[in-house]
């Protein structure tokens, strides 16, 4: 983490003596980027060793991890050393070259005015970085969520131990195949012969606390359909009940069939390769069956 001329445990932690991991001296109005495990937390320095930051849990300074869709956050004033803990941190006014920062007194005054306020928290649209950049620049920005999907894009969501897939249809919504009764949790631990249902939901609700990315991984091998055609077909499936099988007709098969008109699942192929290709062979045999089911519903 950053260092100062006094120890991190020094209760004074005086302004003007605090330096970050790059030995850069901290000034009021600076944005602070803190490197947590797997993500970054942001705060605004207001002087005297204190920061103002936006967190989900008022009892913890661990901040913007584990967001809850539609959850509430609170703005806290805390000592920098307590917020940083054992993590590395640096001053990062990364938008100064693109956006003119507000005057220091204005940044600090606004930050102090927010202390204790409860605000709607959303990882994609208003997280701790959005809050901090809005105070400095008058405009909320977050580098942690640069992805801007286009209608027809495939969305890969990293669940614990597997990936769930969805098709983006625009305005923040996706269409995806889930095992009946599992809500937006997707294609985990399906039971052979179980039925699935096609849902339309907000991307943020389907993603929840997990990482996600746009992944049109077959575009170089297969020509995707036009975006409007993908979206039209996806919408046509909403509410449909389909046979679900992890090897032959899972959420990834459904998504790739919409984009490429051919169902594919890399998750199944990887598993098949690991067991001597047996499962891969099953996918080849049953691939036509999956295509037939999807084709019948299209018609």
**Catalytic residue (choose from 130, 176, 187, 253):** 176
* DSSP secondary structure code for residue 70 in this structure: T
Q: Is 187 a catalytic residue?
A: no
The catalytically annotated residue of 53, 173, 187, 251 is: 251
Q: What are 191's two structure tokens?
A: 């039971």
Q: For residues 260 and 62, give the distance between their C-alpha atoms in angstroms, rounded to a whole number.
A: 42
Asked if residues 149 and 86 have their Cβ atoms less than 8 Å apart, the reply is: no
Let me know if 253 is a catalytic residue.
Answer: no
Asked whether the beta carbons of 36 and 42 are under 8 A apart, the reply is no
Active site (annotated) includes residue 128:
no
* 237: Cα separation from own chain's centroid: 26
List 41, 53, 130, 164, catalytic entry:
164
Instruction: Tell me which residues are annotated as active site.
Output: 164, 176, 251
């Amino acid at each position: 983490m950053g260092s100062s001329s006094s120890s991190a445990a020094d209760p004074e932690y005086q302004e003007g003596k605090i330096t970050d991991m790059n030995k850069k001296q901290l000034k009021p109005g600076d944005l602070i980027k803190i490197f947590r495990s797997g993500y970054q937390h942001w705060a605004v320095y207001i002087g005297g060793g204190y920061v103002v930051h936006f967190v989900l849990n008022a009892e913890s300074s661990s901040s913007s991890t584990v967001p809850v869709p539609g959850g509430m956050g609170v703005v806290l004033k805390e000592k920098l050393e307590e917020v940083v803990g054992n993590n590395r941190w640096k001053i990062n006014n990364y938008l100064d070259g693109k956006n003119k920062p507000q005057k220091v007194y204005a940044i600090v005054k606004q930050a102090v005015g927010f202390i204790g306020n409860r605000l709607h928290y959303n990882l994609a649209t208003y997280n701790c970085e959005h809050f901090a950049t809005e105070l400095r620049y008058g405009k909320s920005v977050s580098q942690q969520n640069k992805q801007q999907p286009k209608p027809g894009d495939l969305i890969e969501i990293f669940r614990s131990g597997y990936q769930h897939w969805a098709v983006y249809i625009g305005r923040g919504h996706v269409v995806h195949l889930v095992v009946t009764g599992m809500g937006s949790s997707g294609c985990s631990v399906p039971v052979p012969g179980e039925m699935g249902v096609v849902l339309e939901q907000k991307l943020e609700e389907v993603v929840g606390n997990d990482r996600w990315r746009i992944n049109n991984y077959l575009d170089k091998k297969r020509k995707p359909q036009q975006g409007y055609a993908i979206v039209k077909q996806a919408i046509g499936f909403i509410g449909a009940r389909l046979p679900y099988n992890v090897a032959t007709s899972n959420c990834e098969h459904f998504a790739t069939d919409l984009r490429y008109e051919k169902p594919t699942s890399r998750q199944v192929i990887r598993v098949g390769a690991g067991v001597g290709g047996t499962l891969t062979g099953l996918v080849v045999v049953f691939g036509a069956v999956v295509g037939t089911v999807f084709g019948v519903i299209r018609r």
